């Protein structure tokens, strides 16, 4: 697979009317299976007011009818097969907007069997959000996804260290994972100093779109602020045509 030039070097999007007409910034969200990726996304959509009308009620009713607890992950898992398996299969493209600008969020599958689907989703991204479980730390697909993002030329990266509620929001647990992540990503070629690592709880919304009162020790940006800091890629209209092939049917 051919690599490409690093993206994300253009100027910040214009404000006002020009911003409204600008295309969405493409963000791919990746992470090892069951690390809380879809939950973080679901909470992000809710906390930015981006859920379609009736979506939250529909998910609540679906969970009730199946005798399941409410799951934020089902916001993105729109295929019935995905809900039944509890994993994301295809890379879903869903628009949302912050107070600053519009986005096209690409929810890429975390399971190793669907890695080609993740590549297809990431190939069109300007930047990435990597989700890592604070209890499990860097796992096989964490490493694989980091490598693939770098190979695809995605230099803009933020990391959400998820499920902080499961470790009592302890700073030392976060610091250990953050140090391991920055060391690995730096070895891949990312500028570790520019990679923002954020402690979050997708279930409760801590540091997603609002600061967490339970992690007052964290002084960095929230997830949405980290995304808003990314810059859009210039259009590659003057280069030869290139497109991703995910499957071949005979």
List of domains in the chain: 22-228 (3.40.50.300)
Average pLDDT over residues 50-57: 83
Query: What percent of the chain clears pLDDT 90, i.e. is strictly above it?
Result: 41
Average pLDDT over residues 117-127: 71
Specify the range with the lowest mean pLDDT, choosing from 79-88, 112-121, 158-167, 234-243: 79-88
Average pLDDT over residues 9-23: 49
Question: What confidence tens digit (pLDDT) does each residue in 54-80 have?
Answer: 878 888 888 889 888 888 877 766 533
User: Residue 221: what pLDDT?
Assistant: 97
User: Residue 12: what pLDDT?
Assistant: 44
User: Residue 1: what pLDDT?
Assistant: 46
HEC per residue, the chain: CCCCCCECCCCCCCCCHHHHHCCCEEEEEEECCCCCHHHHHHHHHHHCCCCCCCHHHHHHHHHHHCCCCCCHHHHCCCCHHHHHHCCCCCCEEEEEECCCCEEEEEECCCCHHHHHHHHHHHCCCCEEEEEEECCCCCCHHHHHHHHHHHHCCECCEEEEEECHHHHCCCHHHHHHHHHHHHHHHHHHCCCHHHCEEEECECCCCECCCECCHHHCCCCCCCHHHHHHCCCCCCCCCCCCCCCCCCCCCC
User: Which letter, b or e, does each residue of 11-33 get, where b requires 16 or more Cβ atoms within 10 Å of its Cβ?
Assistant: eeeeeeeeeeeeebbbbbbbbbb
User: Residue 99: what pLDDT?
Assistant: 92
**What is the rounded CA–CA span in Å between residue 208 and residue 195?**
17
**What is the rounded CA–CA span in Å between residue 213 and residue 16?**
33
Q: Is 208 within 8 Å of 40 (Cβ atoms)?
A: yes
Is 80 exceeded by the pLDDT of residue 119? no
pLDDT interval class at 239 (50, 70, 90): confident
- Which pTM value belongs to this model? 0.79
Question: What confidence tens digit (pLDDT) does each residue in 170-220 have?
Answer: 999 999 999 999 999 999 999 999 999 999 999 999 999 999 999 999 999
User: Which letter, b or e, does each residue of 177-189 get, where b requires 16 or more Cβ atoms within 10 Å of its Cβ?
Assistant: bbeebbebbeeee
Is 50 exceeded by the pLDDT of residue 39? yes
pLDDT interval class at 121 (50, 70, 90): low
At CB < 8 A and 24+ separation, what contacts does 193-197 make?
195/157, 195/158, 195/159, 196/158, 196/159, 196/220, 196/221, 196/226, 196/229, 197/158, 197/159, 197/161
Average confidence score pLDDT of the chain: 81
Q: What's phi and psi for 75, nearest 5 deg?
A: -60, -40
Cross-strand bridge partners of residue 97: 102
């Amino acid at each position: 697979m051919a690599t490409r030039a690093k993206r994300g070097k253009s100027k910040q999007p214009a404000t006002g009317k020009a911003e409204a007409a600008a295309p969405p910034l493409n963000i791919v969200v990746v992470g090892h299976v069951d690390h809380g990726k879809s939950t973080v996304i679901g909470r992000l959509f809710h906390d930015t007011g981006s859920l379609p009308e009736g979506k939250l009620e529909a998910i609540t009713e679906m969970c009730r009818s199946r005798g399941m607890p409410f799951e934020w992950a089902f916001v993105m898992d729109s295929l019935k097969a995905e809900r039944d398996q509890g994993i994301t299969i295809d890379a879903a493209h869903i628009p949302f907007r912050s107070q600053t600008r519009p986005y096209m969020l690409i929810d890429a599958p975390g399971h190793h069997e669907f890695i080609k689907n993740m590549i297809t989703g990431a190939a069109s991204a300007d930047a990435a959000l990597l989700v890592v479980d604070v209890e499990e730390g860097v796992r096989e697909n964490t490493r694989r996804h980091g490598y693939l993002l770098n190979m695809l030329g995605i230099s803009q990266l933020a990391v959400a260290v998820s499920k902080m509620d499961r470790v009592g929001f302890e700073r030392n647990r976060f610091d250990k994972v953050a140090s391991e992540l920055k060391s690995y990503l730096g070895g891949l070629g990312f500028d570790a100093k520019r990679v923002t690592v954020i402690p979050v709880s997708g279930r409760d919304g801590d540091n997603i779109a609002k600061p967490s009162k339970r992690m007052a020790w964290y002084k960095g940006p929230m997830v949405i602020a980290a995304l808003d800091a990314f810059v859009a890629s210039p259009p590659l209209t003057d280069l030869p045509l290139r497109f991703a092939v995910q499957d071949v049917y005979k």
